[in-house]
Amino acid sequence: MYDNNQNVVVEKNITLIERNKCSELTDKLANEVRVALVYNGISHTVMLASPRDLEEFAIGFTLSERIVSNVNEIKGVDIEHVENGIIIHIEITQRCFMDLKEHRRSMAGRTGCGLCGVAQLDDAVKPIKIVDSDAVFNMDYLPGILEQAKAKQTNFELTGATHAALGLNNQGEVIYVYEDIGRHIALDKLIGAFSRRNAEKPAAVLLTSRASFEMVQKAASADIGILFAMSAVTALAAELAEKSNITLVGFCRNSRANIYSHPHRLQHGARLQEAAAI
């Protein structure tokens, strides 16, 4: 049976060299395992991921990669442990499966690359999806949320090796936290969590990583209207956010934030005017 809490952090005895002195101690490492996604019996891709919240990952990946258009087209998720990793068996509707077979390509996921294994340039860019979101967010909440984010990243606190995606409501509360060694996978897990039936959809999402093109593309697929990133925003991400009607904000730290697109969803005391930064 799948254990949702297994082996996320592992311990290893190491030698520490500090100020020319050696000492023996136990270090905590973020675990990463091979995770194969199999649709209707056909292998699709292999990712490296933290071995937790894998059902959420499967659902979120399937939605954010537009293998299905809504969660009701996912008929089942079954997780199997094998000698060399984990296999996630995902059952989707026959129509979606036929579309997947037609467009299927060979991919190999890595933690630092969102487009690994894409064979054709056209495969890297999905059709622009226009986000229809009336979400608003008061930027006065952001400093407190950033403080909460530190405390809620338990795996990062132990290992220093994970990213997180946090779902926020419009009262400035953190309602979802998902961590993974892969920033894309952390976002997929969050998407999978709130896409389930009767789950609360966040008003905004905060990434502890940079916001690159594929992160914005996943946000658009999930109809996320506001995307915050604690680190930088790439030029292609900003361009896609503008076209997709996503409010994209980067460098959210140290009482500052850079707004790259669609500031109309953000408030700061009075509503923000068209501006590039606050």
DSSP SS3 for 250: strand
What pLDDT does residue 3 have? 44
**Is 170 marked as binding a ligand?**
no
Per-residue pLDDT tens digits of the chain, which is 278 residues long: 344 446 899 999 999 999 999 999 999 999 999 999 999 999 999 999 999 999 999 999 999 999 999 999 999 999 999 999 999 999 999 999 999 988 765 444 444 455 555 555 566 678 999 999 999 999 999 999 999 998 999 999 999 999 999 999 999 999 999 999 999 999 999 999 999 878 999 999 999 999 999 999 999 999 999 999 999 999 999 999 999 999 999 999 988 999 999 999 999 864 454 444 44
| Residues labelled as active-site residues | 113
What pLDDT does residue 115 have? 54
Q: What is the second-level CATH architecture of the domain 33-124?
A: Roll (3.10)
**Is 265 marked as binding a ligand?**
no
The three-state DSSP-derived secondary structure of 130-150 is CCCCCCCEEHHHHHHHHHHHH
- Here the tokens at position 41 are 């019996």
Q: What is the second-level CATH architecture of the domain 137-271?
A: 3-Layer(aba) Sandwich (3.40)
**Sign of the alpha-carbon torsion through 236, 237, 240, 241:** negative
DSSP SS3 for 192: helix
> Kind of pairing, strands 226-229 and 74-82?
unpaired
**Is 212 marked as binding a ligand?**
no
What pLDDT does residue 118 have? 54
Radius of gyration of the chain (CA): 19
- Does the pTM surpass 0.85? The reply is yes
Domain boundaries, the chain: 33-124, 137-271
For residue 186, give the nearest of 210, 203, 169 by alpha carbon: 210
Distance CA 1, CA 78 (A): 10
What pLDDT does residue 255 have? 85
- Element (H or E) spanning 260, and its range? strand 256-261
> Kind of pairing, strands 226-229 and 247-253?
parallel
Distance CA 269, CA 104 (A): 48
Q: How far is CA 53 from CA 185, 231, 242, 251, in A?
A: 10, 24, 31, 28
Inter-residue contact 49 to 31 (CB < 8 Å): no
**Is 110 marked as binding a ligand?**
no
For residue 25, give the nearest of 40, 33, 35, 15 by alpha carbon: 15
**Is 256 marked as binding a ligand?**
yes
